[in-house]
Amino acid sequence: MRLHGETESAARERYKYYLQQALSCIHPSAYFYIGKQPLADEWALSTNPIPIPLQTRDGGVLYLTATQSFRTKRQKREWKVSTQAYIYNVSEWADTRDYMFAWHWHPSQPPECHLHVSAELSNHMKLDKKHLPTARVSFEEVLRFLIEEFDVEPAKSEWQGVLAETQERYERHRSWWGSTRD
């Protein structure tokens, strides 16, 4: 993501700002915050609360954990923010250990974007430990999936326009979109 003529901190805040816009579509008060990873020279985005409770139209609740790490680096005369990993876990329980879906990209192991699904085949093979291949998944795609397919109640009426705008921005600035960056 390229951010022209900004300081590093402004680039970080703008990166967070658009993710926050997306997050506001499914929760009225949850927010992202940024911190430096204790064990690496990268930044992490986390949320409060964690996990985020999402109201469904039938009165139920789902729980979302959304985490990213990213780097900033100066290229020529502009700051670039580059996503290094993402974790989006969706669960029926506040303890997201028992997730339904988990979209992961944490390239140290394995390098490809993947999906974990809590499901079991008739031969008793469990899919939750399998790495189902995906392309790079955006935060907006996860939110749209939750609203449209899992009846999560949008937190604002204009959610479609907001997600479309932030998704368009993400697609315009991303440097890769397949299953792996390398």
Q: Which residues bind other proteins (CB under 8 A)?
A: 9, 12-13, 16, 20, 31-40, 42, 44, 46, 48-50, 65, 67-69, 84-87, 89, 96-97, 99, 102, 104, 106-109, 116, 129
d(CA 72, CA 83): 9
Min separation Cβ 172 and other proteins, Å = 23
Residue in the block written with tokens 């609360």: 49
Q: Which CB sits closer to other proteins, 82 or 160?
A: 82
d(CA 167, CA 182): 22
Structure tokens at 158: 């204009």
Q: Which CB sits closer to other proteins, 106 or 173?
A: 106
Residue in the block written with tokens 């604002």: 156
Residue in the block written with tokens 């100066």: 74
118 Cβ partners below 8 Å, 6+ apart? 98, 99, 100, 101, 127, 128
Q: Which CB sits closer to other proteins, 83 or 167?
A: 83
Q: Which CB sits closer to other proteins, 91 or 167?
A: 91
Q: Which CB sits closer to other proteins, 2 or 106?
A: 106
Min separation Cβ 13 and other proteins, Å = 7
Min separation Cβ 49 and other proteins, Å = 7
Min separation Cβ 128 and other proteins, Å = 8
* Neighbouring-strand partners of residue 103: 88, 115
Min separation Cβ 32 and other proteins, Å = 6
d(CA 70, CA 41): 9
